[in-house]
Amino acid sequence: MNKRTLGRSGIAIAPLVFGGNVFGWTADQNRSFELLDRFVERGFNAIDTADLYSAWAAGHRGGESETILGQWLARRGRRDDIVLMTKVGMWEPRKGLSARNIELAVEDSLKRLGTDYIDVYFAHIDDQEVLLEETLAAFDKLVKSGKVRAIGASNYSAERLRQALAVSKASGLARYEVIQPRYNLHDREDFESGLAELAQQEEIGVVSFFSLASGFLSGKYRSLDDAKGKARESFVQGYFTERGQRVLKELLAVSEELSVPPVQTALAWLLSRPGVTAPIASATSVTQLDEVLDAVDVSIPEPLLARLTEASRT
């Protein structure tokens, strides 16, 4: 497995990250263990979660994903084989990026995960009510203590990321080595309008979330009716627009020409984009997971890449 380095962190990951939002939500403990076993068996090593997951689900409080992942790590003894990513700042009981909240949240996450260190600890949001100096100093303390190997930023604009990098440089603090933007064949503007260029200039790793647009780019949902009653109905309904249908139509056409599933075409397109280290993608069955992981072996010829890129322009 050819691995890619996350920024200047020295942390190397396989080119697809498992999205752990499904653990304890659409995948129970047994299924989650089965998926994780298959993931590492195939040679992949990076797993993304958050303290928030899966607080949005009925009857859930948050922390479910980290708890199940921690149980798997303990059961399998695979901690040293895994690049573990989690986040702070969006979950209501531990909301925001104040120094005190980060200090408390990391201990909670470490306990749920059953580990004494996190490989990449993300600011899940950009908390503009807290000075960047305070947030970055808190993260720097965690890096110096060995509880965190590298820090990352999710949902940051290019301007705020630029400001954060300047603060880290001026104050000698750990800098954001990884960003986690919303980026896929349909949702391109936020990343491509500034973050992509900045990440390349500053040698920052990029792991994209919503890489399959919550399943819309899997080809499973050809209409709103297909999504009705499904766990992801509320996530995908916004994609059924004229532009969304245009993107999906071209994705399906290119996939047919390549003789591969749409999931693999959508992920292979992301893997071809400048600056992208690894997309995050999830699955709820071993069959789905294998389909996702096979995307790393798909090469899209330039003319077909151009068709996808043109069809998804805003």
CATH number at residue 129: 3.20.20.100
Residue 1: CB atoms within 10 Å: 12
Structure confidence at residue 214 (pLDDT): 84
Structure confidence at residue 235 (pLDDT): 67
Residue 141 domain-assigned (yes or no): yes
pLDDT (mean) for 74-102: 97
Residue 312 domain-assigned (yes or no): no
Number of domains in the chain: 1
Q: Is the pLDDT of residue 147 over 90?
A: yes
Residue 134 domain-assigned (yes or no): yes
Q: Are strands 205-208 and 176-180 parallel, antiparallel or unpaired?
A: parallel
Residue 22 domain-assigned (yes or no): yes
Predicted TM-score (pTM) of this structure? 0.95
Asked if 298 and 263 touch (Cβ cutoff 8 Å), the reply is no
- Where helices occur in 146-188 by DSSP H, the ranges are 158-171
Q: Is the pLDDT of residue 223 over 70?
A: no
Q: Is the pLDDT of residue 232 over 90?
A: no
32 CA to centre of own chain: 17
Residue 86 domain-assigned (yes or no): yes
Residue 259 domain-assigned (yes or no): no
pLDDT tens-digit series, residues 127-136? 999 999 999 9
Residue 271 domain-assigned (yes or no): no
Domain of residue 51, residue span: 4-180
Which sequence positions are flagged as catalytic?
53
Residue 250 domain-assigned (yes or no): no
pLDDT tens-digit series, residues 21-57? 999 999 999 999 999 999 999 999 999 999 999 999 9
